[in-house]
Structure 1
Amino acid sequence: MTAATGAVLFTLLWLVLALVCGGLWTGFAIRGLIRMTKGKGGPWASAMAQLSVVAMLVGLLRFGPTWGIGAVLFPPALLLFLPGIAELSITPQIALYALPITAAVLALSLWHPITRLFSVMLTCATLVISTLVAGEAISARAMCQTAAGQNLTNVTRHPFWWSIHNTGYDFQFQLHGLATRGEDQFAWSYSEMDWYPLPDTIWPNITSGEPACE
């Protein structure tokens, strides 16, 4: 068996496994919700359904429609991409803000019987929103501070949510952030949380977002 044949078989096996897991997840969630309407089911069905909704929103934000649909069927699949996010230098700083807020919302949602039914969705939504808000504030401040320390001007940047959506793709003509010093151009790296110089053969063809640090 050649390497190409092995890769095709592995991909097909992975797709079949994903479809089976997705079918089981969706089936159990729907069955549980139906039982809950009859007063027989437990809270796990509601939790599974809420996770599917939150996973769909995260999949749409980070990867696009295909992953959004796939995440509805089997939300745990998104865990495959957590290591890449954890490698970003900004992640620990975001966690210092997002995790306490998320923990507080979880505790409050469990306190009242009505909000307890939606505690999973409220908690996950809070984690996503607080991550984006904290990431936007921290990244904007870091870009401006490091640019000032290196005498960089004409700083432009995309919002943090845009960077999350596009992180991990191959070379793009739209960068997280862009700055200049004389005739030199610098791009922003979330892995290093710093600016790095661009080759002269590349920078005339690329742009970034809106003006920042003004």
Structure 2
Amino acid sequence: MVKHIAIIMDGNGRWAKAHGWERTKGHKQGAETIRTIALEANRMGIEALTLYAFSTENWKRPPKEIEYLCKLPKMFFNRYIKELNENNIKVMYIGELERFPSETVSVIKEAARQTESNTGLKLVIAINYGSRREITLAARHYAQDVVNGTANVEIDEEGFSKYLMTDGLPEIDLLIRTSGEKRLSNYLLWQLAYSEFVFVDYAWPELNEARFREIINEFENRDRRFGGV
């Protein structure tokens, strides 16, 4: 049974452009899809859903689009935090929030605070997140602990993983990427070492409950050997 799914929510802007709309409309519809998939994952008993909402590379996008993306968390949580709470969903985040406007940071932290005692799906938003940056920060933290005498130089993989932003979450079973691209884009490189990958051609706004269940069924029919036979 799948416990933890990571998703690269790709194709919002291209989906909107294909319909003759502004890219921002694609991001708005993408936020609606977050609600849809989070509720479905929760119904299915999945423990964690980690979504790539904003990468460290996304700052290269046009200023108008970045401005809209910074406003999107407030729009999303103002509309859906009550429903997420009622469904026992716990909002979490990974990444470096500090670069965002203070209002955006406050909204995300408040959503996490309001849902912190919930015991259903862990909805993890990866925002201003980059995996190489995460591993670099983890290595710095570990090195400082060694210098301070609070960590042993003979660390193992399990010990190092506790320095990552995903500490406390289950191992990732499945990565999904929408919109036809077949790359990881600096996302959870350490955590995806033995995950199964599913790449679909349709854009993130086109992912619905039925398609999500199809992907889960495909995953559950795979033979995961983890290097064995």
What's the TM-score, normalizing by structure 1?
Answer: 0.25
Q: Which has the higher strand share?
A: 2
TM-score by length of 2: 0.24
Structure whose CA Rg is larger = 1
Q: Which has the higher helix share?
A: 1
Task: Work out which structure has the larger RCO, using CA pairs closer than 8 Å and 6 or more positions apart in sequence.
Answer: 2
